[in-house]
A and B are shown apart, each in its own frame.
Chain A
């Protein structure tokens, strides 16, 4: 039995993409081939395998907490051209010396850094340009979203603006923000108060105390979607906003798919009920009841799914990380003053200087054997000349 030609037909059949001719061929084949028929049903089920499973409640907050706790985040360096040349030169010297002196210890010790430097393309990803996500620039939110993922929120904004007649649109909105505060307890209470007046609820709240005694609250809040913007604005006013992001997921298609499946099953149920009225034999009754039970199960399951989507559409999710800050931090974290900018400028310059010094040290260390070698040669040559002269 050869199935290969039917594999791609089967896939197209599954998504309803076959034209009449191929459809007829596929159906003829399906009729005579239990293996393909089973395969088709299994594939249909595969597509819906995760529909009943829920994501664990603490999954989101716990990975977000883990990334917050990361102490080391590699900096994406915008290395000036000359340091790159220096690094290349150093790499070159290292390779030269390495091959000259078969001792590859040095090569191994130094090899990594130049390779990383030369390979790095300048600039790179777009998110870096969105420096305005940070403090005081709340109006520039989501500016850093790369194009493909940003498309959906944009569409959403356009759709709602364009006309409200499209009531079928199902959008799940999420907002995520991070704030720092010196008045942790007050602000935490203020969030709870704001939540209550917005008619929202806490889905999860997790407060951790770090080793330095400062606390961090990880909150997952559910807020009626129409009050999300007002609520987010209120939260932005608390403490000092460090990061803000927003997303919108269009689940309209998924919703209408499930909805039409539900309607199919409901129609089936009506037919079964009508049959049940007319049923006479016990056998008929039994098989009808079994079919009714199965259909009811499906109806319940689809209704549950629709309610789940509705709940997520009606109530937006807002995840908030509230960092307690020491007095020192808060002084730093106000709006960017001239003083802040000077400090940050100095720090950048200092960092560059240190990197340069490190690079120079690497370079010097790398060419040291060459220098020694050259020096040796010069000394020997001079010594020979001297000897000749004296002769």
Chain B
């Protein structure tokens, strides 16, 4: 009798597991890329991004039976992913406080937009990524979701579990800081018209 019970339990569990996995994968597979990119933008390098994205997927899966559909699955998954990243970033303890950048009276030089535009797209991307890593984690998260991954304010606020107004002001301040950091980049202004032979090799 005992063996039969064990077998029956085994069967019941296998069935439960297969169903849960199939249901989870059906929802999560179309989002896996986006989750990875959110992690990439948050963490700034591929290794950490992959670790965090995987951890987020695993966490989401473990919590999946308790997912109650109060928010959309995608919002819920982004929320888990950003929280994993935020935890990881807190562990790093090397982030620059946003306060550092909030010196008043900084004006963006007149030539900055043109100088920025003159850079190659790949260089501009690299500059943005560098600047992003200087933002405080909460601000980085807000900008990552809204500006880099195209989530609406509403969805991003839900994912980060902050009120809509807080999120909007974080995004706005993150953008301020980002433009300030960028307009201080020396290479922005060192960039004179380039000759073809002088093109910078992008990594």
Residues of A near any B CB (own CB < 8 A): 1, 4, 7, 34-35, 37-39, 41-43, 45-50, 52-53, 55-56, 59-60, 62-64, 66-68, 70, 73-76, 121, 124-128, 130-131, 133-134, 142, 144-146, 148-149, 174, 176, 178, 242-247, 249, 286-287, 289-290, 292-294, 297-298, 301, 319, 328-329, 332-333, 340, 343-344, 346-348, 350-351
Contact = CB atoms under 8 A, between A and B. Distances in A.
B90 interface: no
B21 A243 contact: yes
B162 interface: no
21 contacts: A34-B111, A35-B179, A41-B113, A50-B40, A63-B32, A73-B65, A74-B66, A121-B68, A125-B67, A130-B19, A131-B19, A134-B18, A149-B73, A242-B14, A243-B21, A245-B25, A286-B193, A298-B121, A332-B7, A333-B14, A347-B5
Given A41-B113, A56-B50, A70-B61, A244 B9 contact: no
B19 A350 contact: no
Interface string B135-179: 000000001000111100000000000000000000010010011
Given A75-B16, A174-B29, A245-B25, A34 B65 contact: no
A146 B14 CA distance: 23
A63 B107 contact: no
A38 B9 CA distance: 63
Interface string B9-35: 111111111111111111101101100
B40 A34 contact: no
Contacts of B107: 1, 35
Contacts of B5: 346-347, 350
A50 to B, nearest CB: 4
Nearest to A349: B8
Contact of B27 (A149, A174, A351): A149
Interface string B40-84: 110000100010011001100110011111001110000000000
A287 B198 CA distance: 12
B199 to A, nearest CB: 6
B65 A287 contact: no
Contact of A38 (B54, B112, B120, B196): B112
B46 to A, nearest CB: 7
A37 B196 contact: no
B128 A289 contact: no
A70 B21 CA distance: 10
B150 A47 contact: yes
Contacts of B15: 134, 344
Interface in B102-148: 107-113, 116-117, 120-122, 124-125, 128-129, 143, 147-148
A43 B171 CA distance: 11
Contacts of A174: 29-30
A125 B68 contact: yes
Contact of B23 (A35, A66, A144, A347): A144
A47 B195 CA distance: 29
Contacts of B86: none
Dominant secondary structure of chain A at its interface with chain B:
helix
Contact of B147 (A35, A46, A128): A46
B70 to A, nearest CB: 10
B92 interface: no
A67 B24 contact: yes
A59 B36 contact: yes
Contacts of A37: 113
B85 interface: no
Given A45-B121, A49-B128, A343-B8, A55 B29 contact: no
A240 B191 CA distance: 63
B20 A52 contact: no
A171 B7 CA distance: 43
Contact of B179 (A42, A134, A247, A340): A42
A60 B29 CA distance: 8
B48 to A, nearest CB: 12
A49 B129 contact: yes
Nearest to B115: A38
A294 B19 contact: no
A255 to B, nearest CB: 15
B108 A293 contact: no
A300 B111 CA distance: 29
B27 A146 contact: yes
Residue among B11, B21, B150 having the largest count of chain A Cβ atoms under 10 Å? B21
B36 to A, nearest CB: 5
Given A38-B182, A47-B148, A73-B65, A63 B57 contact: yes
A-B CB proximity, top 8 nearest: A347-B8, A243-B22, A245-B26, A127-B23, A35-B108, A37-B113, A63-B57, A46-B147
